[in-house]
Structure 1
Amino acid sequence: MKKTVGVILKRIGRDIRQYKWAGAAFLIYYIVVKAVFHAFCPLLILTGLPCPGCGTTRALIYIFRGQFGRAWQLNPCAFLMVLFGVYFVYMRYVKGKKVKYAMEILAAAAALMLLVYIYRMVTEFPGYPPMTFRRDNILNRIFPFYNDFLRHLFGI
């Protein structure tokens, strides 16, 4: 058992070392963007419109807290991400094998997320978070008529 845990930790450590600069860049982006714009999503910051992934981080937190209904309201696709994450961790770190069909699974999940997003934009937007409009977006700062245009287009 001790040897198995050591092997798993070595595999995790190897990946951390390999992807440390990507992780550092992501962390810097997160800190800077949150400090400047008080949001994380680039689409939301730029256009004021939610993206297909909006609400996913909060949904994942709710899943791990056992608040599944709230997670479903924020982004139902978060459950797919948890399932894929468990599969990925098991195959890559526990079994030490290549994660088969990872790109195909992620592409299918992305397509489903896009379909859910379109449905939610038609039925819920503008509504409750995360399907809300952010009025202090960058495009409105550049083009003062932008928010008025969207108000006429979407009724927001």
Structure 2
Amino acid sequence: MTSINYTINIKSKRKIYGIIGAFITLMIPFFLLLFGQSNHLETDQSLCPLKMLSGFPCPGCGITKSLVYFYEGNFQKSLDYNIFGPLVIAFCIATIAVLTTELITKKEFFTKLLFNKKLAYILAIFLASYHFIRIIYFIRNNSIDDILRESIWK
């Protein structure tokens, strides 16, 4: 009986952590926008370690900027920074709604989808393809000096 309660308790904690993580993901860009810090987004140095070292964007580069511009209502600029920005918003809202519902009802709706290998492979292929195209576009539109300026090696 104790192991069943322990398992349920671990699942509940994981759901709470998922809700908190999704909420923080949505709120950080919102606070950047709210407190006027979004003015510097296009000119400030990226905090991405890969971009700082190489000058090339990683697959997640631009997500925060994408979320900020999405919140501003500039959907084109949001998609320009990272096509996954609006998807992150939708995923976080769905995660909060579903996990909260699971905690309240004590039923699981999301587990089969969350741990679906086929869906994970499809998303991984889409992300890799998007990043490959993004890197080609980045190299085509930036000189070596521009790329170095994006890094810490200016």
* TM-score, reference length from structure 2: 0.54
Q: Which residue of 2 aligns with 1:122?
A: 136
Q: Does structure 2 conserve the Cα–Cα contact (< 8 Å) formed by 1:80 and 1:109?
A: no
Q: Which residue of 1 aligns with 2:86?
A: 79
| Structure 2 unaligned spans of 5+ | 1-11, 25-43
Q: Does structure 2 conserve the Cα–Cα contact (< 8 Å) formed by 1:59 and 1:71?
A: yes
**Which amino acid counterpart does residue 116 of structure 1 have in structure 2?**
Y
Q: Which residue of 2 aligns with 1:33?
A: none
Deviations along 1:30-78, one digit per CA (max 9) or x if unpaired, are xxxxxxx943111011212111111111001111222111101111121
* Larger RCO: 1 or 2 (CA < 8 Å, sep 6+): 2
* TM-score, reference length from structure 1: 0.54
**Which amino acid counterpart does residue 59 of structure 2 have in structure 1?**
P
- Name the structure with the higher helix share: 2
Q: Does 1:133 align with 2:147?
A: yes
CA distance in 2, matches of 1:112, 1:86: 21
| Structure 1 unaligned spans of 5+ | 1-10, 24-36, 142-156
**Which amino acid counterpart does residue 74 of structure 1 have in structure 2?**
Y
Displaced runs of 4 or more, over 6 A: none
Which of residues 114, 129, 132 in structure 2 aligns to 1:102? 114
CA 95–75 in structure 1, closer or farther in 2 if over 3 Å, else same: same
CA 110–122 in structure 1, closer or farther in 2 if over 3 Å, else same: same
1:1-156 correspondence runs (5 A): 15=16, 38-96=45-103, 98=108, 99-100=110-111, 101-104=113-116, 108-125=122-139, 127=141, 133-135=147-149, 137=151
- Give the RMSD, CA atoms, in angstroms: 3.6
